[in-house]
């Protein structure tokens, strides 16, 4: 049994339909992953800086004043979140695609970044953050066994 549509496109119609540019399909978004800080004072999102995704932050009531707080120039930042320490963001970044992610902390006022897991050849992941212990992050590291992540504070 076949199904037919009265308005089905003909072969001629398909030839005149323009292709969607690859940049539209696979390029960086203008803005992505918008987040509000836990204290409500800041708005953040990912947006390109010179074609590379970075984290931008603005006062919560003045989104037009957003500025980049990270300075990645290679692969771009794809994963980030707010910590429960006021004015601090956390993000994951690997080195040239090796998938050995490090966890970085950013002071959004000073725009200073600190590598919290500066161990080469080890993949770090954020396991848990809590408002009950804002200065503590539970981190998984595969430093003992590449197949398993042990939990550290």
CATH code assigned at 77: 2.120.10.30
Percentage, residues of the chain above pLDDT 90: 73
Q: How many Cβ atoms from other residues are within 10 Å of residue 41's Cβ?
A: 14
Please, are residues 87 and 40 in contact by the beta-carbon 8 Å criterion? no
Query: What domain count does the chain have?
Result: 1
Computed on alpha carbons and rounded to an integer, the radius of gyration of the chain in Å comes to 21
The answer to whether residue 51 sits within a structural domain is: yes
**What does the pLDDT read at residue 62?**
95
Average pLDDT, the chain: 90
**What does the pLDDT read at residue 16?**
81
**What does the pLDDT read at residue 12?**
58
The answer to whether residue 42 sits within a structural domain is: yes
Q: Cα–Cα distance between 73 and 49 in angstroms, integer? A: 8
Q: Cα–Cα distance between 151 and 129 in angstroms, integer? A: 13
Looking at the predicted structure, is the pLDDT value of residue 2 above 70?
no
**What does the pLDDT read at residue 14?**
64
Please, are residues 58 and 67 in contact by the beta-carbon 8 Å criterion? yes
The answer to whether residue 111 sits within a structural domain is: yes
**Who wins on pLDDT, 136 or 96?**
136
pTM across the whole model: 0.81
**What does the pLDDT read at residue 45?**
97
**Structural domain boundaries enclosing 44:** 12-117
Looking at the predicted structure, is the pLDDT value of residue 94 above 70?
yes
The answer to whether residue 127 sits within a structural domain is: no
Question: Which one, of 34, 68, 64, 38, lies nearest residue 50 by Cα?
Answer: 68
The answer to whether residue 124 sits within a structural domain is: no
The answer to whether residue 133 sits within a structural domain is: no
What lies within 8 Å, CB to CB, of 135 at 6+ separation is 85
**What does the pLDDT read at residue 6?**
57
Copy the structure tokens of residue 99.
Answer: 């998938």
**What does the pLDDT read at residue 4?**
57
């Amino acid at each position: 049994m076949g199904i037919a549509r009265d308005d089905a496109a003909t072969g001629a119609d398909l030839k005149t339909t323009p292709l969607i540019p690859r940049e539209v399909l696979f390029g960086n978004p203008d803005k992505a992953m918008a987040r509000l800080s836990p204290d409500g004072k800041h708005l953040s999102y990912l947006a390109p800086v010179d074609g590379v995704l970075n984290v931008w932050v603005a006062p919560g009531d003045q989104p037009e004043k957003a500025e980049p707080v990270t300075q990645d120039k290679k692969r771009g930042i794809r994963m980030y979140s707010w910590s429960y320490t006021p004015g601090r963001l956390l993000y994951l970044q690997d080195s040239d695609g090796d998938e050995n992610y490090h966890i970085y902390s950013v002071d959004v006022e000073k725009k200073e970044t600190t590598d919290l897991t500066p161990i080469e050849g080890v993949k770090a992941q954020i396991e848990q953050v809590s408002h009950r212990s804002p200065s503590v992050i539970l981190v998984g590291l595969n430093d003992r066994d590449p197949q398993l992540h042990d939990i550290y504070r």
